[in-house]
Structure 1
Amino acid sequence: MTVLEIAVQDARGARIAREAGADRVELCAALGLTGGITPSIATVEAVVAEGLPVHVLVRTRPGGFVYTAEEVEVMARDIELVIEAGASGVVIGALNPDLSVDHDAVRTWLGVARLAGEREGRNVEVTFHRALDVVPDPVTVLRELAGLGVDRVLTSGGAAAAPQGVGVLRALAGAGTGVQVQVGGGVTIESIPELVALGVDGIHLSAKRVVPDPGPVGPGGGEPGGLEETSPEIVAAAVAALRSNE
């Protein structure tokens, strides 16, 4: 069965995903503004309480995926904390300036995740996120990640949107590495059947909509604009599109 993962930013989003029939959520903060950063521990706890498996994005800041030693250390501690708060997986990724995988950072985070999972008495999965989409040879990198022990990758096939990356996605799904390939980035309801047909293991989308902000934005509050929330209609449509093609 192809897994449906919904990217959410709060407990309400997780509740909507669960009630509509999604299999898992990825939790992050500031998705639209930053591409996603690590949420608060209280948010992790609230989302875990909704009952679906929760994979937490661990990313200290927006921008590229080349990190300092201090940032790697902070993210290692974040991994411990979100697993202690009930996360069943973490989503990570790090590169070197030459766009090769930062093996040291990934090994560190994997080791921390596995140990934290053992302490909590449960298996914790590790996903390498869309840093994969900026490397020059994603299939070779997928094999490297398999050797490191990564469970899953999240990828658009290196394209701005997954429906334009089907060639790479097909190659990743057929590489036989044992690493699960989850498609995310620009996934639409209409594109789900084509993406599932590639033989991928999972489909990931945010299913978000923008609603009016009920209050004004003052100095220090950021740029004015709407608020993002998970759409029940989009999640339900994604579930229907996925299940009808299995």
Structure 2
Amino acid sequence: MDAVNIALELAVQDPAGVRIAREVGAARVELAQALALGGLTPSPATLELALEAAGETGPEIHVLIRPRAGGFHYDADEIALAVRDVELAVTAGASGVVIGALDAAGALDFDAVARLRDAAGEAAVTLHRAIDVTADPVATLDSAIALGLRRVLTSGGASSAIEGIETLRAMVVAADGRIEIMAGSGVNASSAAALAATDVDALHFSAKRNVVVDGAGGGGVRMGSAADGVGGYEVTDRDAAFAVRDALGL
């Protein structure tokens, strides 16, 4: 297939993921922790090492700012924490932040998002998938544009981007170049080309695989619950990341 003109953003949790993003030619990474929970704000040390892994010529580091799992309606303390995390991320050298907040009615919390935007200064600000749980993601674009945000990360209001593909097309038309539309959620090698054909500006994907941990200690004693660390953890899979790139002919 012919190569397409689209940016790639890889969601990663550690410096190893940043190095894979660099290999695959991603324009950006979204740096987070706990992607299994939808992503939370990473630690300052994680950001520091991610920036080192990216180096001068690697992908931009954009930090997810999300104080907790469980929805996007935050109280005053949580917004204050998120504002401080934005400031710390930008001061540390992040190129951008990924933010979002909803009000009690489930609409975009204009005042909270404005505070987070202002805390970012000149850094790029992306509205994350909080837009997908608003009543009308296409209409919510107007608020994001009014706030002066750089881009939105969206699945078109569906559980996966490929399921929301028609809404993604509508969002591209509604944006009309005023804000970037980045498709994300469940993006893989089988869906990448179809999503790119909607004319979104970027594809966001995690290329994750699960590392299974059996919970046995050095003496062969099995720990008793998930809280003890039994189960596994997710890492960025190099082959899966390259499969997405190859599917796009990049």
TM-score by length of 1: 0.91
Q: 1:35-74, aligned counterparts within 5 Å?
A: 35-51=38-54, 52-74=59-81
Instruction: Name stretches of at least 5 consecutive residues in structure 2 with no aligned partner.
Output: 217-222
Moved more, 77-86 or 212-221: 212-221
TM superposition shift of 1:222: 4.7
Moved more, 174-183 or 229-238: 174-183
Percent identical residues: 46
Aligned partners of 1:174, 1:127: CA distance in 2, in Å? 19
* Cα distance change on mapping 1:203 and 1:222 into 2, 3 Å: farther
Aligned to 1:98: 105
What is the letter of the counterpart of residue 205 of structure 2?
A: L
- Equivalent pairs counted in the alignment come to 235
* Cα distance change on mapping 1:205 and 1:220 into 2, 3 Å: closer
Instruction: Name stretches of at least 5 consecutive residues in structure 1 with no aligned partner.
Output: 118-123
Larger of the two Rg values belongs to structure: 2
Aligned partners of 1:177, 1:145: CA distance in 2, in Å? 13
Aligned to 2:35: 31
Aligned partners of 1:236, 1:106: CA distance in 2, in Å? 34
1:9 aligned onto 2:8? no
Aligned to 1:112: 119
What is the letter of the counterpart of residue 26 of structure 1?
A: E
Aligned partners of 2:64, 2:228: CA distance in 1, in Å? 22
What is the letter of the counterpart of residue 13 of structure 1?
A: G
What is the letter of the counterpart of residue 184 of structure 1?
A: G
1:164 aligned onto 2:163? yes
1:180 aligned onto 2:180? yes
TM-score by length of 2: 0.90
* Cα distance change on mapping 1:218 and 1:45 into 2, 3 Å: farther
Aligned partners of 1:236, 1:46: CA distance in 2, in Å? 23
Aligned partners of 1:104, 1:21: CA distance in 2, in Å? 36
Aligned partners of 2:237, 2:124: CA distance in 1, in Å? 26
| Contact 1:96–1:102 under 8 Å retained in 2 | yes
What is the letter of the counterpart of residue 154 of structure 2?
A: T
Aligned to 1:121: none
What is the letter of the counterpart of residue 18 of structure 1?
A: R
Aligned to 2:243: 237
TM superposition shift of 1:9: 0.3
Aligned partners of 2:150, 2:189: CA distance in 1, in Å? 26
1:20 to 24, 29, 35: 24
Q: 1:137-156, aligned counterparts within 5 Å?
A: 137-156=136-155
TM superposition shift of 1:138: 1.1
Aligned partners of 1:195, 1:8: CA distance in 2, in Å? 21
| Contact 1:10–1:27 under 8 Å retained in 2 | yes
| Structure 1 residues 59-97: Cα deviation after superposition (integer angstroms, max 9, x where no partner) | 000011100011111100000111112110100000012
TM superposition shift of 1:214: 7.4
| Structure 1 residues 172-218: Cα deviation after superposition (integer angstroms, max 9, x where no partner) | 01111511000001112111111001010000011010112376456
Aligned partners of 1:100, 1:26: CA distance in 2, in Å? 24
| Contact 2:156–2:168 under 8 Å retained in 1 | yes
Aligned to 1:76: 83
**RMSD of aligned Cα (Å):** 1.6
Aligned partners of 1:218, 1:18: CA distance in 2, in Å? 39
| Contact 1:173–1:199 under 8 Å retained in 2 | yes
Aligned partners of 1:149, 1:21: CA distance in 2, in Å? 27
* Cα distance change on mapping 1:192 and 1:219 into 2, 3 Å: closer
